[in-house]
Structure 1
């Protein structure tokens, strides 16, 4: 198998090229514009969903008034994880919708749902105002957002891969992870700006709501941008279904009947990458505030640093996986991450300063990018086009729901029961080792036709 073709940079005409045997990419819309539209819309959804983690300490204080800061933090990050419970449900419902009505229709619906969730959080009264109804509103909003993202990831990643050729899918698919990193960059910068510009009283009173209002307002913009994408599901064009090429009416049933082994191996492989992603990109800023006792304005730079590194490294990771294979890149980077994570936590605890924290986070983020990108690209490649969005959604969401969504909760809980600030490293190591077990039994997908 020839893996030697190097993907061309986004924004050039070479993105439209593919060999005769390759899966034909979509042709009408400029591929650079398509990547930008998909990435922007996906990033907006992840911004709405993940901004919650940056203000978990404040939300815990306002909506979960239990005794003890660590207990408040556990409830706040536990509510962050609640949103992930609905991801598999959203994956089944909205992933199936994307494989019946098309990728564009599903992605528009997910943006509307995400906007609704952000609006609920932005305007939810606190516990002091309405009592137990306050945390229930926050939980409801997280469930809606989790349901939406459950369908978004499968539809948007499938669309990215279907715009690429057999020799550039890794590069195209990497932009899914780029979009997640970009939302973290924007969210952390906004968090830093608010923490620096506002007093503690103002930030806790109304300042933390600002990012959710912005996310709510940006939803319709993302929907408008995505209207100009070309549909890649055969038989679906501009919201109409062709009788000659009607998509499978029951993609979920077909998925579990014919691809149960692929689902199992895909979920296990996803565990390691998603645990690392949510600990390094999101939890370490909270960890720096509560465990290392760094100021919020400084600690949020950890999330910004991790996000910038992943944004830079992700396209290179995707291109490398096109060249040498997904499995090889994933295997090497994940082993390196497993080896590095415990010493990393030892270093930041021995010298809890902002420069040390940012340096450690930057190194870990490189490993995260190179292990997460080939992983997220392999998942939709394992399924045929007619059930690809459903398959990708279910596999990714099952892996992410528990081991990613509740990663912050598990890490905090391990610290509490063990008394060791190094406990989050144990969690990452365990998830990483388990995720490597099915890799030898998975087929290499780089450079091969998937349709």
Structure 2
């Protein structure tokens, strides 16, 4: 049934939006990913400097381990955040969910930036650090589903892939900004200054980025599908029980589509930096430069691939991802392990990221279209968060485990197999195109 527009509000998306208005809202809807991945890299990159500040004096390894445990706990809060924030976004609207998500990000970063040291307040310091990371974990868990849903609903049918590509553009931008901050601070501050106070700078930057996104999102429009679902009272039906009872196949499809995609993404964007040092023998500085150039190339690919998915279809792109991943992952990593040429290393990683783009270019739309509007945020967010925690979050650990057992090629096989499962899940099952049915 068609739901009429509310004549008294200009906060509802419609087909008459100008290109500029639509782009502004799409940037706002996807910009939280920038903060998310900036925060992800910053905490990990600066652990060497702040771990001794927050934990009792002990060996450096123990201090790093304690910081890593907090990092992991924050990561595994993402499914809980996806559940809570997904329901909130379905019931209160996409704009409300996105605004709350980025507000929590900002609070978490500010808390860490101002947090007193262990020498000042004792065990309260690591406890507050843990609370801040858990808060950010809740935020990050809901960000993907809310932004993916918002982008898919706001985009025009003929340009969904192109508009949805902004999510990965901002996501990768967060990685690059974090990497740039690390390189600049290492070049301008001594190791002593970085450990004493310099490590706080990137968290201040994270808070400023989050506040900026929060300001942008205050002026975002709401989507028609979300408004209509709320007016019909359907938004109250969003719950984990309803999701797995009414849409179990769709939830599983999101989970398995994400599994291989997130594994490939983390393998080529984060793990390759360690791989270049531990396996290929590059210096840390050279490995960082190669990785940064490859990630920048990956970012440039996103709008191009999004446009191609609009023109040729999602199945073409995911088929490219599936065939390319299965056939070339093993040889790409094998050649990467044996090269000492930085240009060759870049092109090999870039080739892997090109293949991965077959997934990143369609994943937002492919997942969103599986669910009706009243449960869409939760349906996208929760299975995604679970798959990312299980497969994406363990990418480096699994890769290092295979290396430790002198069977590093097993890791290449593992990636290839998961890509095959992800691509097959999408290609060989029926896609309902629910988004098209939700036009109002």
Q: Does the 8 Å CA contact 2:399/2:408 hold for their aligned counterparts?
A: no
Name the structure 2 match of 1:258. 246
Report the aligned-residue RMSD: 3.2
In the alignment, which residue of structure 1 is the partner of 2:194? 203
User: What is residue 299 of structure 1 aligned with on the other side?
Assistant: 287
Distance in 1, Cα, partners of 2:342 & 2:53: 27
In the superposition, relative to structure 1, how do residues 82 and 394 fare at CA in structure 2: closer, same or farther (>3 Å)? Answer: same
* 1:431 equivalent in alignment to 2:418: yes
Task: State the secondary structure of the residue aligned to 1:248.
Answer: helix
Deviates more, 1:335-344 or 1:283-292: 283-292
Give TM-score scaled by structure 2 length: 0.84
User: Which SS does the other structure have where 2:158 is aligned?
Assistant: coil
Q: Does 1:346 align with 2:334?
A: yes
Q: Post-superposition shift, 1:250?
A: 2.6
Structure-1-length-normalised TM-score: 0.82
Tell me the SS of whatever aligns to 2:361. Answer: helix
Q: Aligned-pair distance for 1:166?
A: 2.2
- Equivalence for 2:171: 180
Contact 2:34 2:174 (C-alpha < 8 Å) held by counterparts:
yes
1:357 and 1:73 mapped to 2: Cα distance? 29
**Contact 1:107/1:155 (CA < 8 Å) preserved in 2?**
yes
- Alignment partner of 2:221: what SS? coil
> 1:228-260: per-residue Cα shift (whole Å, max 9, x none)?
1110155749xxx97x43442131143222101
1:267 correspondence with 2:255: yes
Q: Deviations over 1:235-288 (max 9, x none)?
A: 749xxx97x434421311432221011111220111011011122222322444
Query: Judging changes above 3 Å, is the alpha-carbon distance between structure 1 residues 350 and 66 closer, same or farther for their aligned structure 2 residues?
Result: farther
Kept in 2, the 8 Å contact 1:174–1:377? The answer is no
Greater helix fraction, Structure 1 or Structure 2: 2
Match runs of 1:237-256 below 5 Å: 244-252=231-239, 253-256=241-244
CA contact (8 A) 1:184 1:303 kept: no
1:159-180: CA deviation from partner (whole Å, max 9, x where unpaired): 1111122222122212111111
In structure 1, distance between residues paired with 2:310 and 2:267: 27
Which stretch shows the higher mean deviation, 438-447 or 355-364? 438-447
Distance, in Å, in 2 between the alignment partners of 1:135 and 1:306 is 35
- The 5 Å alignment of 1:95-134 reads 95-124=86-115
TM-aligned CA deviation for residue 344 of structure 1: 2.9
8 Å CA contact retained: 1:234, 1:246 = no
SS of the equivalent of 1:27 reads coil
1:44-55 map, 5 Å: 44-55=35-46
Give 1:8-23 correspondences, 5 Å limit: none
Q: How does 1:22-171 map to 2 (within 5 A)?
A: 25=15, 27=17, 30-56=21-47, 58=49, 79-124=70-115, 136-171=127-162
- SS at the partner of 2:222? coil
1:30 is paired with a residue whose SS is helix
> Structure 2: any 5+ residue segments left out of the alignment?
1-12
* Stretch moving more, 73-82 or 383-392: 73-82
Q: CA separation in 2, counterparts of 1:230 and 1:53?
A: 35
